[in-house]
Amino acid sequence: MTVVHAVLARLPAPLRAVALKHRELVKFAIVGGTTFVIDNGIWFLLKFTILESKPITAKAIAVIIAIIVSYILNREWSFRTRGGRERHHEAALFFLISAGGVVINLIPPYLSRYVFNLEELHVTRLVQEIADFASGSIIGMVLAMFFRFWGFRTWVFPDELGHRRGDKDDGEDDNIIHLGHS
């Protein structure tokens, strides 16, 4: 039994039905949580060390690394039953949509720092760091997430191109539906 099967087996039936109905979104959110940790870990590492004077550059680098991980995880797990494009075309579209997400992600921390002056020259270091986290890691990331999910489903991994790996996706969905109903 996979981890996904084990988790779904423990969910109450109504919640399990919602999770199954929106499984791509759930998988996308899990990938997003993973890349959230990667993004923020790298961002804070860079921001508090070698890029201390360039927090937006540090965030951009962290987001780009997280996007590469996101492509691999989304392609191989979240949207594996969609697509059908040649890999180079799919990757180009993925990174183009993700670039739009990077721009969206960087707007809130840019506004926070340079429009609202929430940087150490005008506020305490604690206020600056809270503003950076709230604007870059919460507001920016949530806005970019909605944009990416829409863009990935619409252009990168569209359903109308058919299944990339055959007509069935390894039977996972058929097995999951019957969990807990023996």
Confidence bin at 172 (pLDDT 50/70/90):
very low
> How do residues 24-38 score in pLDDT, each as one tens digit?
888 888 999 999 999
Confidence bin at 77 (pLDDT 50/70/90):
confident
What integer best gives the mean pLDDT of the chain? 83
Name the residue with tokens 């099967």: 5
Q: What is the pTM of this model?
A: 0.71
Q: Is residue 182 part of a domain?
A: no
Reported as half-sphere exposure (CB side, CA atoms, 13 A), residue 18 has a value of: 4
> How do residues 107-159 score in pLDDT, each as one tens digit?
999 999 999 999 889 999 999 999 989 998 899 989 998 999 999 988 888 87
Cβ(80)–Cβ(169) below 8 Å: yes
Q: Is residue 76 part of a domain?
A: yes
Host domain of residue 170:
3-177
Q: Is residue 8 part of a domain?
A: yes
Q: How far apart are CA 75 and CA 83, in angstroms?
A: 9
Confidence bin at 177 (pLDDT 50/70/90):
very low
Q: How far apart are CA 163 and CA 109, in angstroms?
A: 39
Q: Work out how many domains the chain is built from and give that number.
A: 1
Q: Is residue 159 part of a domain?
A: yes
Q: Which two tokens stand for residue 58?
A: 């540090």
Q: Is residue 75 part of a domain?
A: yes
Cβ(83)–Cβ(67) below 8 Å: no
Q: How far apart are CA 32 and CA 43, in angstroms?
A: 16
